[in-house]
Amino acid sequence: MTVVKSTARTIRVFEHERLTINPNIREEQLTDSELTSLYSFNDLHENKYFTNIRNGVKFGSYVGVIQVGKLTLEILPKVDKDDFGINRLNAVNNWHGALLSMLKVCGFIQINSISEANLKRQNNSLLDLYFSQFLDEVEALLHRGLIKKYRSISANTLALKGRLVFSKHITENIVRKERFHTDHSIYNHDHLINQILLVALHTLERVTVNQLLTDRINRLKSNFPVIQTPIITEADFNKLRLNRKSLPYTNALKIAEMIILNYSPAITGGRQQLLALLFNMNTLWENYILTMLKRSSTNFQIKGQAKKYFWEKRSIRPDIYLQNKTSKENFIIDTKWKMITTDKPSDEDLKQIFTYNLYWNSQRSLLLYPKVTQTDGNFGKYHQGHQDGHYCKIAFIDVLGEDGKLNRCIGKDILQKLEK
């Protein structure tokens, strides 16, 4: 039986690392109940977030944070196989800040008050930042005043209002002449949108280990009118339709959806409550590169996941499509978040780029990888497809600068790599 103190703690690991119930070299370990909760969570999501191994888990390409009981488990990006040794703490801090900055650039975190210094602080949990953003949004909505909506109810009342439900009235009120069973509308705060916010606040109260956030949650809950807290499911979010009055709820509802749908309560012995916020690093890398390219040049039309049909109803979507507004020349960039040691692309990747070049009339394309020590390859020529020829090369880009922060020139650096 694994014995670990139950006080709040944070463990930060990198992609593809392992964590078990046995202490590692840094004395980091899971408890039995934490591991059981992680196994159950992963099973519930078709084992896509990590791999269940003997007495532990091995992380994959998903990064982010998992709150399980009093443990905050953060999974950070990693582009090489180095375990960092004595420099691990610096690497953890750098990639922790880089992940938060990527999420901010891509719009997944919209807290304007986050400074570069705060993003680098070791005690800044990704979940705490999301929770703070949600509480800020709810606080603003309460200050503005929660909206009211009409909703229909069927009830036995002392006044005849709305439509009399004759069959139920006869059944229920044969000896209670003063009552009427009616269908009628009421106008109040107790509707789905406000219910979602309150359920999310209750969920946060269960999982957060941050006392400052707990105090804020309790203050906000006390300011809510009387509202039901039903079980909220994905179907409830799918049927939401916002109008002019409810549009200010947009950001709060997005975060509430993440909180509620990713919450896994403790329902069996040995399990602890769990809430996860995880991102596929391949998708995050693609979105980050797309955003930074758009910020870097006004001379290009840039699109992500542009779609064209290639057979029946099957479509193809290159990661990034660019067109020079002056020359009308087209380019394709296919992003890859993994480490390779060669500048020779695989046959599969070359065939994929060949198809993209044909359909988007592109003459130059990049297979873009994060850089460790590799150097760019040369543009290799395809022998068919375009009369004037078309080309592809592997390129590597620095993710972090010398200061350990995200490379601020990454967009311009990539555009230079498209030149012959």
pLDDT at 173 over 80: no
pLDDT in tens, 209-263: 888 899 999 999 999 999 989 899 989 999 889 999 999 999 999 889 988 988 8
CATH code given to domain 297-417? 3.40.1350
- Distance CA(244)–CA(105), nearest Å, equals 28
Q: Could you give the count of Cα atoms lying within 13 Å of 96 in the half-sphere of its Cβ?
A: 25
Q: Structure tokens of 63?
A: 């990064």
Which pLDDT value is given to residue 402? 87
- Distance CA(364)–CA(333), nearest Å, equals 9
Mean pLDDT, the chain, integer: 86
Share of the chain above pLDDT 70, in %: 84
Which pLDDT value is given to residue 169? 60
- Distance CA(8)–CA(260), nearest Å, equals 22
pLDDT at 114 over 60: no
Q: Mean pLDDT across the stretch 351-375?
A: 94
- Distance CA(205)–CA(214), nearest Å, equals 6
Question: Best-predicted range by mean pLDDT among 15-19, 126-130, 238-242?
Answer: 15-19
Which pLDDT value is given to residue 248? 93
Q: For the chain, give the secondary structure using H, E and C.
A: CCCCCCCCEEEEEECCCEEECCCCCCCCCCCHHHHHHHHHHHHHCCCCCEEEECCEEEECCEEEEEEECCEEEEEECCCCCCCCHHHHHHHHHHHHHHHHHHHHHCCCCCCCCCCHHHHHCCCCCHHHHHHHHHHHHHHHHHHHCCCCEEEEEEEEECCCCCEECHHHHHHHHCCCCCCEEEEEEEEECCCHHHHHHHHHHHHHHHHCCCHHHHHHHHHHHHCCCCCCCCCCCHHHHHCCCCCCCCHHHHHHHHHHHHHHHCEECCCCCCCCCEEEEEEEHHHHHHHHHHHHHHHHCCCEEEEECCCEEEECCEEECCCEEEEECCCCCEEEEEECCCCCCCCCCCHHHHHHHHHHHHHCCEEEEEEEEECCCCCCCCCEEECCCCCCCEEEEEEEECCECCCCCECCCHHHHHHHHCCC
Instruction: For the chain, give every domain's residue range.
Output: 9-123+263-280, 149-188, 297-417
